[in-house]
A and B are shown apart, each in its own frame.
Chain A
Amino acid sequence: MPTEILMPALSPTMEEGTLVKWHVKEGDTVQTGDVIAEIETDKATMEVEALDDGKIDKLLVPEGTEHIPVNRPIAMLLADNGHPAEGHSFEARPTAAPQPIEVEEVPDPGEAPPEVEIAPAGPQAAPAEPRPEQDVPKRAVPPGTEMVTLTVREALRDAMTEEMHADADVFVMGEEVGQYEGAYKVTQGLLETFGARRVIDTPITEYGFAGVGVGAAFAGLRPIVEFMTWNFAMQAIDHIVNSAAKALYMSGGQMHCPIVFRGPNGAAARVGAQHSQDFSSWYAHVPGLKVIAPYTAADAKGLLKAAIRDNSPVVFLENEVLYGQSFEVPKLDDFVLPIGRARIARVGRDVTLVSYSRGLAYTLDAAEQLALQDIEAEVIDLRTLRPLDIGTVVNSVKKTNRIVTVEEGWAICSIGSEICAAVTAEAFDYLDAPPTKITGADVPMPYADNLEKLALPSVEQVIAAAKAVCYRK
């Protein structure tokens, strides 16, 4: 038997890819290091090298095949001597296949229609002057609106594209946003559409370019500053907090700073302690900022458009694992959502589950499983972390009398801490059980596969907590 060559995982979050091109044909002899194929991942096109000498016995997947799951055999290799090659013929990571992502299917938009604000985009007025607050008409997505399936990545890109078309003062800067089209491909196509003046590749100097962005915003431009990940924004946090967030207050209302800082936040997969951290509560702590952490593609699009139009500095926390997830997005010319409003992602009566960003994946999955055990959970997607929509949470708790918060971040001073404190203060008499937090473990993120799983919240934990507050076994 020849050895199987498997579809490799070429990024921490890659689950599938496209076989763009074979560089070998059946019968070819290959040596270790020869490029045998090109594979397009969710982020980039990568070359695949042979890791063994041998002869290509069979190509199992034709060129151009899309959605090939990681670890599926794509070719067979015979060792030089005609026997199967030893070991793995390939740089795939057979034991380290990315875990299936626990993402609930898109909630039926008909079930809990999001409140939507539609605002005209139109070119904006004088640069140095703050824009007047747009008194946007509020209406739900009109019945019968066509829905399109988009990944979160595409939704973010579309939001930026639309806003850049609408307002010449909007530009994007960051590492690899231009020619490379984004380290996570979120800015794909922007350079081609808008040119190098408005899509600016920066050096790897977060402190510096965050400050440059803030200065440009002081001058009235509307920068979108992409951090390759929020982990690297630690070097820039001084400008986010000290220069951007405080400017309006320190200037007695004179100096606006209309800037969006965005990029992936939270744990990715197997990237270890310094690349896996949820900064939500850090930024949610800071007056002067608005903080957004969407889960669905529709929220990502509608809220990023709102963030770009906002006259305050906005911290926009995306999630690498969600970039490739698909959701239904209303097909509207100008789909803008209000900042500061939570979304009821699932209606229920027995317990309130509150989460945001990727935490919704665990939470919605848990809710479905709880339903099988006759517990109907109400799931709230916070979407915005500052200002926090406590009202929606409190109203839900008044109905369910129980609350569990779910987040990947650390427990101390977390978003869940704030929610539980607020609910205790505002709905104390309605509570039938102590408010409960599910959070990441109180440790730096470990690398080992099993430890990493233990460090993150799980569906089982959410189910157990929900049952506990319902006093159910």
Chain B
Amino acid sequence: MTSPSLNPGAANFWMDQVPTPNPTPPSDGPRLSPDEELSAYRRMLLIRRFEEKAGQLYGMGFIAGFCHLYIGQEAVVTGMMMALGEDDQIITAYRDHGHMLSTGMDPKGVMAELTGRRHGISKGKGGSMHMFSVEKNFFGGHGIVGTPAPLGTGLAFANKYRGNDSVCVSFFGEGAANQGQVYESFNMASLWKLPVVYVIENNHYALGTSVERSSAHSEELYHRGAAFGVAGEQVDGMDVAAVEDAGKRALAHARSGKGPMILEMLTYRYRGHSMSDPAKYRTREEVKDMREHHDPIELVRKRLLKAGRSEDELKDIDREIRSVVNEAAAFAQSDPEPDPSELHTDVVA
């Protein structure tokens, strides 16, 4: 086969970089600046309070169906979003409320989607697992385990096709990390040097199956790309500073044309897999220990206090956030359901 005449050298367009191992080892004890720390606190607290409220509304029957809460994992998306550039994209699966809030989407629109109302971000037609914001570069919100890997790889493909500088961050869980489509994605992303960062949110339980029971060599999921030449790193996903630091390096790696990178975030969800999961597969003590000794928000709160912030200032932030969330909840309960005519709109373009 001859090489294409109109694009000399273009045969290597998708493969023009030699994979290199992760150039920078994790730094020791990354720290955020005091302002960043405060911003992280605020963002994580918004997710925490929002999810607590969502759980409450679920119990009251305002939210139905599957509802997967992000409580405990807030540092992961918050740290990544702090590292993200303005034109970068993110995509995730169905534990997505935190990701949406983190992109700056209006909590009212998200909560009203949870209650299935007309001013929900998807007009009430998507629900908890299916939300998108083209404006905020949030590409879902996908209900099928593992799909964010190839879809995110496709977003990264578009970045390289267009020759822009954007990186896509694709979030999925440690359970999804056993799916074939994830490895198909690693292969193509590495082969074509696509600007994508895969974030494995390892909260240790795929519904009720612990990572040890489902995943070979489960202590090092970040090595799962090794066979494809994809560098990986394990990160303390309960420390937003560590996440932000690793995120920045991974994004720089991907942005520089070196191809994909994997970040395995060790994290923990406090609630069940979804609202209907009693989580009997783990002990109360285990959850209690995580809450008391590894809580991502408490960690930042302590650092803020140590750095001279006052309890009152932090309480004010909490109050302010509770009021934002309450407002969203009130809106989501009072907003009307979609007009029946919406049943048949948005089916095809």
Q: Is A12 an interface residue (CB 8 A)?
A: no
| Chain A positions within 8 Å of B147 at CB level | 211, 238-239, 242-243
Stretch at the interface among B11-19, B304-312, B322-330: B11-19
Q: Are B144 and A242 in contact (CB under 8 A)?
A: yes
Partner-contacting stretch, out of A80-88, A152-160, A213-221, A460-468: A213-221
Binds B, one of A47-55, A202-210, A415-423: A202-210
Q: Contact at A211–B181, with CB atoms within 8 Å? A: yes
Residue B220 is within 8 A (CB to CB) of chain A in the complex: no
In the complex, which of the residues A180, A203, A215 contacts B187, with contact meaning CB atoms closer than 8 Å? Answer: A203
Cβ proximity bits A268-292 to B, threshold 8 Å, 1 near / 0 not? 0000000000000000000111100
Docked pose: A16 CA to B222 CA in angstroms: 54
Instruction: Please provide the chain B residues from 1 to 30 with a CB less than 8 Å away from any CB of chain A in the complex.
Output: 1-2, 4-7, 10-14
- Do B157 and A288 touch (CB < 8 A)? no
> Measured between C-beta atoms, what is the minimum distance from A193 to chain B in Å?
7
Q: How far is the CB of B341 from chain A (nearest CB, A)?
A: 13
Contact assessment for A203 and B188 in the assembled complex, using a CB-CB cutoff below 8 Å: yes
Contact A207 B13, beta carbon cutoff 8 Å: no
Residue of A197, A219, A250, A258 near B132 (CB, 8 A) is: A250
B106 at the interface (CB under 8 A from A): no
Q: B87 CB to closest chain A CB, in angstroms?
A: 11
CA distance A451 to B118 in the complex (A): 56
Please judge, given known A-B contacts A219-B89, A219-B155, whether A192 and B2 are in contact too, CB under 8 Å: yes
Q: What residues on B are CB-neighbors of A352 within 8 Å?
A: none
Identify B143's interface contact among A181, A216, A242, CB under 8 A.
A242
CA distance A213 to B14 in the complex (A): 15
Complex contact A243–B347 (CB within 8 A): no
Of A208, A211, A218, A252, the residue contacting B125 (CB under 8 A) is A252
The smallest beta-carbon distance between A196 and chain B, in angstroms, is 5
Question: Across the A-B interface, how many residue pairs have beta carbons closer than 8 Å?
Answer: 186
* 8 Å CB contact of B134 from A192, A194, A255, A310: A255
Interface size range of chain B in the complex: 35 or more
Residue numbers in B under 8 Å from A141 (CB-CB): none
CB neighbors of B among A180-198 (8 A): 180-181, 191-197
Q: Does B258 contact A (CB under 8 A)?
A: no
Within 8 Å CB of A180, what residues of B? Answer: 1
What's the Cα separation between A26 and B125 when bound, in Å?
74
Q: Do A196 and B184 touch across chains, with their CB atoms under 8 A apart?
A: no
Q: Sort A-B residue pairs by CB-CB distance and give the 3 closest, nearest first.
A: A215-B154, A211-B150, A208-B184
Binding site for A on B (CB under 8 A): 1-2, 4-7, 10-14, 89, 91, 120-126, 130-134, 139-144, 147, 149-159, 161-162, 168, 180-181, 184-185, 187-188, 191, 345-349
- Chain A interface (Cβ within 8 Å of chain B)? 127-128, 130, 133, 171, 179-181, 191-197, 199-200, 202-203, 205, 207-221, 238-239, 242-243, 246-256, 258, 287-290, 310-312
25 contacting pairs across A/B (C-beta < 8 A): A192-B6, A196-B12, A197-B10, A197-B14, A199-B4, A203-B184, A203-B188, A207-B180, A208-B187, A210-B150, A213-B154, A214-B150, A215-B139, A215-B153, A242-B142, A248-B346, A250-B122, A250-B126, A250-B130, A251-B130, A251-B132, A253-B123, A255-B139, A256-B349, A287-B348
